[in-house]
Amino acid sequence: MASATAPVASAGAPAGTASRVAEAPVLRSRRRPLLRPALMLGGILAVAIGSLLWWLTGGRIVSIDDAYVQAAKLSVSTDVSGIVAEVAVRDHQRVNKGDLLFRLDDRQFRIALDGARANLAQAALSGEAMKRDYQRMLRESDAKQAQVQSDQADYARFANLVKGGGVTRAEYDNARFKLLADQQTAQSLQVQAQVQLARLGGDANAEVTKLPQYLQALAQVDEAQRELDHTVVRAPFAGIVTDVEQLQPGQYLAAATAAFGLVSTEDVWAEGYPKETELTWVQPGDRATVDVDTYPGRHWRGTVESVAPNSGNEFSVLPAQNSSGNWVKVVQRIPLRVHIDRRPGDPELRAGMSVEIDIDTGHSRSLADLF
């Protein structure tokens, strides 16, 4: 019986055709052992070449997905205490630099300012009075010096007369004691004049506005004016206010107590926390692309502004210690700041939004880096 797989030539086929059909399976069976190793080696070679090309071109861009939008923000407060008289903004309102935020009742501060101004005027009058009093003391001292000279002449005359009996011993003693008393009085007046001159700063013609007591009163006026000015709180920069409802008119606001928040709409940047191993070629000034999760398909250009000089846990409350010897190496995160180039018409960027940052380091790998 003929085999079922044996090729059967047709009755009209030539004899050569029948022989080629019979030889075809034999050729395929001979090619198979060569094709399989070639395909295996070619696949491995293609993977190796593709991996090498990917490695050579993949070291230029550093991608950071652990990044967020940050903005300048502050808790609005003032350094004086008082009753809230007016709240001029509402929650989530956009404000410009210098816009009124809230105001305290300023009556007590105006009273304090009036009192300080009165003290200043009194200090000016006191300064003028001191200058005139010093002149009076000088005249009294000169008059007493003249009296001392008169007493000196009387004493000298009585000293000559008492020897000849022209005056009694009692008159002579009275003249001597009067001279001594007037000399002591003259010295006392001179000391008083010197004290008054010292109060004038050593200059009898000094300007009142340069006297210490006047300057002290002027400082009190300035402080009272400063406190009055700080009862009116204005926006230090343009932004959006938040949590305004926690401040209400009639509420007592202590000094340095946070009233509500203000988030800048102009000073906005992206802050990422890449691994330390990703910062090998990153430098300030490198160009970057920022993608915000809230706005798919939109891209912002940016520039690496700075790289922190420390890792995130350097200033933590409980930094990692290696005193026990049970040490496990953990890749550290280094804060990185990217300035975002914003254009008119761009969507609003809000603090805390998640972003992805791609930094172009400009570094190209070479085969020498493998060895």
- Nearest Cα neighbor of 287 from 274, 299, 305 is 305
Please write the tens of the pLDDT for every residue from 255-304.
999 999 999 998 999 999 999 988 988 999 999 999 999 999 999 999 99
pLDDT above 70: percentage of residues in the chain: 83
- The whole-number pLDDT of residue 10 equals 47
What are the CA-CA distances from residue 249 to residues 60, 241, 253, 282 (Å)? Answer: 57, 17, 10, 51
Distance CA 127, CA 138 (A): 17
Distance CA 121, CA 176 (A): 49
Read off the pLDDT of each residue in 200-210 and give the average, rounded to a whole number: 88
Q: What is the DSSP letter of 348?
A: P
Distance CA 230, CA 120 (A): 22
Read off the pLDDT of each residue in 50-67 and give the average, rounded to a whole number: 76
Give the residue with greater pLDDT, 238 vs 199: 238
Distance CA 357, CA 63 (A): 6
Please write the tens of the pLDDT for every residue from 147-187.
999 989 988 888 888 777 777 888 888 888 998 998 999 99
Give the residue with greater pLDDT, 324 vs 285: 285
pTM of this structure: 0.69
In 204-235, which positions are buried (b, 16+ CB within 10 angstroms) versus exposed (e)? eebebeebebbeebbebbeebeebbebbbbeb
- The whole-number pLDDT of residue 319 equals 65
Distance CA 300, CA 306 (A): 18
